[in-house]
Amino acid sequence: MPSIFSRIVSGELPAYKVAEDDHHLAFLDITPLVEGHTLVIPKKETDYIFDLPPTELAALHQFAQRVAKGVRAAVPCRRIGVAVIGLEVPHAHIHLIPMNSVSDMNFANPKIKVAEARMKELAAAISAQVPAAETTTAAAATLAPQDSKGGRETTEASAAATPAANGNDATLSQLQQLTQGLVFMSESEAALEPVSYTAPAGGLTDAALAQLAGVPAGTTVEKQELTYFLRNHTADEGVLGNAELANRFKALQMYLKQELNEVQVYRFGSGPQVPVLVLGEAEGGKLAGFKTVLTET
């Protein structure tokens, strides 16, 4: 009997496809660990991935690499995790999982439910970002760029020419992706603006917080818990009956709580315009999070 994946390949069963060539197929997992969880398979049914001939195994991973680039470009995350389990379906497959922490790769976690409309949107977004296959010549040039004398640069020289980004840059970059286009709804709308600060030497006193928020010294500071602050926006349908936006706020909340320490919401003053800072401790003695403004009359 054909595997469920072979039935997808033949068209007997539907799937949210994100990439395909003559020998491989990639589609969204319908019981994902996180949004964007993608499966990559060879079209030829083979139970155990390491029973594939070496050339076919290499080709499968090269295809998966292209798909992973598409997933990472379309789904906000720090990395794409890779897993091969091979027990649940007797058809070789690779899991590509957008991850912001190691716990996102835990297959013991409850699977999430993603609405059909959102699955279609994710599949289209990922598909649009999957790069075209490189030719052998182009791939070779990428792996071994020529120097000015027509020879090949060494791996060490190439690595030295690319400085590594520090951890806080990565955090801010991720926050920029997660908050892009999001607005906080109170009596008006206000954008979420990602921020990064050097932690004050004397700690987060009210005076230091006021300076970070750009409000007058002596302004009252009220603390709130992050989950409570975002409770309306992370409800199943959000504040506007939009499940997609609710899922984005959930992803932002999860990232803040998993990747930053001691995350806290700080409200300044009593309105009608209430500046808000959401801050946690990032790597390298930094603070990171976002700021916004509430309207309360």
Q: What is the mean pLDDT of residues 208-234?
A: 91
Q: Are 28 and 38 in contact (CB under 8 A)?
A: yes
pLDDT at 124: 93
Regarding the domain delimited by 167-295, which CATH topology (the fold level of the hierarchy) does it fall under?
A: Nuia (3.40.1460)
Among 105, 164, 160, which Cα is nearest to 284's?
164
Radius of gyration of the chain (CA): 23
Cα 66 from Cα 62, distance rounded (Å):
7
Residue showing tokens 């599949």: 123
- pLDDT exceeds cutoff 60 at 280: yes
Distances 196 to 136, 175, 253 between C-alpha atoms, Å: 43, 10, 17
Q: What is the pTM of this model?
A: 0.49
Among 187, 168, 75, which Cα is nearest to 121's?
75
Candidate list 37, 93, 95, 233, residue with the active-site label: 93
- CATH number, span 4-135: 3.30.428.10
Cα 194 from Cα 266, distance rounded (Å):
15
pLDDT at 202: 84
Q: Domain boundaries in the chain?
A: 4-135, 167-295
pLDDT at 185: 86
Name the helix (H) or strand (E) containing 243.
Answer: helix 243-259
Average pLDDT, rounded, for the chain? 84
pLDDT 10s digits, 162-182: 223 333 468 888 899 888 888
Q: Are 143 and 65 in contact (CB under 8 A)?
A: no
pLDDT at 143: 37
pLDDT at 36: 96
93 is known as an active-site residue: yes
pLDDT 10s digits, 224-245: 999 999 998 888 777 667 788 8
Backbone torsions φ then ψ of 161, nearest 5 degrees: -80, -10
Confidence of residue 134 (pLDDT cuts 50, 70, 90): low
Q: Are 170 and 194 in contact (CB under 8 A)?
A: no
Q: What is the mean pLDDT of residues 247-276?
A: 89
Cα 143 from Cα 136, distance rounded (Å):
11
